[in-house]
Structure 1
Amino acid sequence: MTRIDSLLVATAVAIAPLTALADSPNGVKTLSPPGAIKPTGTWNLGTRAGDFVFIAGMRGIDPATNTLVAGDEARVRQAFLNMKLIAESEGATLQDAVRLVVYVTDMYRFRPIANKIQEELWGNGPYPPRTIVEVDRLNQDDILEVEGTFYAPAKK
């Protein structure tokens, strides 16, 4: 083996672990941290792209059973906690949220619960920008879904 061949092999071996971490050619990494819910279709819980973490719509699913939590307030809280777990798995906190989108099936019933849970989790704020939208229906006839974008600088 020539010196150049040795360098090429050494370089390939050195970069292999780095490229194995990326799920896309541009370094977008899919997320599935321990303790999170299990996706039930053709979607991932979230992705990291550079310094940002994008979390799919989370619902009030108990990660231990992968079934909906009973009770409106408990279910809304669980949806936010599911999002929080994924954000924290990438080094972000709730204070690092740069945008939330909340979908509810009844604005008058569920927006006040979402506000209450956000106050519990974020304290007195500041709160991230949030869009809340009433929709006709959610998967499994659920009541709320929350998605978030978080700033979490990648470790250099």
Structure 2
Amino acid sequence: MRTRHAISTDRAPAALGPYSQAIVAGGFVFCSGMAGIDPSTGTIPPGIEAQTEQALRNLGAVLAEAGASLADLVKTTIFYADVDDFDRLNTVYARHMPQPPPARSAPANVRLPHGLLVSIEAVAVLPGTEGGHRE
């Protein structure tokens, strides 16, 4: 019996290396870091706000492919390049998060590839599950 499976959608950027966009296991969706890359053009929008918006759209697309949504998030980690961008990043992020918002870590001054300013990884619980067990 397979206990995990990969999620892939063309509505989010393809993995840039040997990893999956997400893995579903035990009633959870474990999402790789989603960057602010437009999946249809491969371009990176300028500025932390635009990249955060795009990263959250990409995260939403991967979650949807897995059968979940941002409302199902239980933990996020935001890696971002410049601590001075925190307030602007946080404003965009807050608009997209459910209540109560998920647990979060946000390490700053992280060097990201390709001039990216932000990458957001996440864990969501699949609807209809609780702690990895069907209700």
TM range (shorter): 0.7 to 0.9
From 1, 5, 24, the counterpart of 1:48:
24
Match of 2:93 in 1: 118
- Give the structure-1-normalised TM-score: 0.75
1:95-134: CA deviation from partner (whole Å, max 9, x where unpaired): 210100001111122x2122111222126x2111000001
1:32-79: CA deviation from partner (whole Å, max 9, x where unpaired): 124221122212111101210000001100010122123321111101
Match of 1:89 in 2: 65
Secondary structure at the counterpart of residue 78 of structure 2: strand
Q: How many corresponding residue pairs? A: 130
Higher RCO structure, 1 or 2 (CA under 8 Å, sep 6+): 2
Q: What is the rounded CA distance, in whole Å, between the counterparts of 2:16 and 2:63 in structure 1?
A: 20
Match of 1:147 in 2: 121
Secondary structure at the counterpart of residue 103 of structure 1: strand
Give 1:27 deviation, angstroms.
Answer: 2.5
| Higher helix fraction (1 or 2) | 1
Give 1:26 deviation, angstroms.
Answer: 3.7
Q: What is the rounded CA distance, in whole Å, between the counterparts of 1:46 and 1:64 in structure 2?
A: 19
Give 1:29 deviation, angstroms.
Answer: 0.6
For 1:23-34, list aligned pairs within 5 A. Answer: 26-34=2-10
Q: What is the rounded CA distance, in whole Å, between the counterparts of 2:12 and 2:81 in structure 1?
A: 24
1:129 aligned onto 2:103 = yes
Match of 1:10 in 2: none
Q: What is the rounded CA distance, in whole Å, between the counterparts of 1:146 and 1:32 in structure 2?
A: 17
Q: What is the rounded CA distance, in whole Å, between the counterparts of 1:78 and 1:135 in structure 2?
A: 20
Identity percentage over the alignment? 28
Q: Which runs of 4+ in 1 moved over 4 A?
A: 153-156
| One-letter amino acid of the counterpart of residue 96, structure 2 | L
| One-letter amino acid of the counterpart of residue 31, structure 1 | I
Rg comparison, structure with higher value: 1
- Root mean square deviation, CA, Å: 2.0
Distance 1:29 1:104, change over 3 A: same
Is there any run of 5+ residues in structure 1 with no aligned partner, and where?
Answer: 1-24
8 A Cα contact 2:10 2:39, kept in partner: no
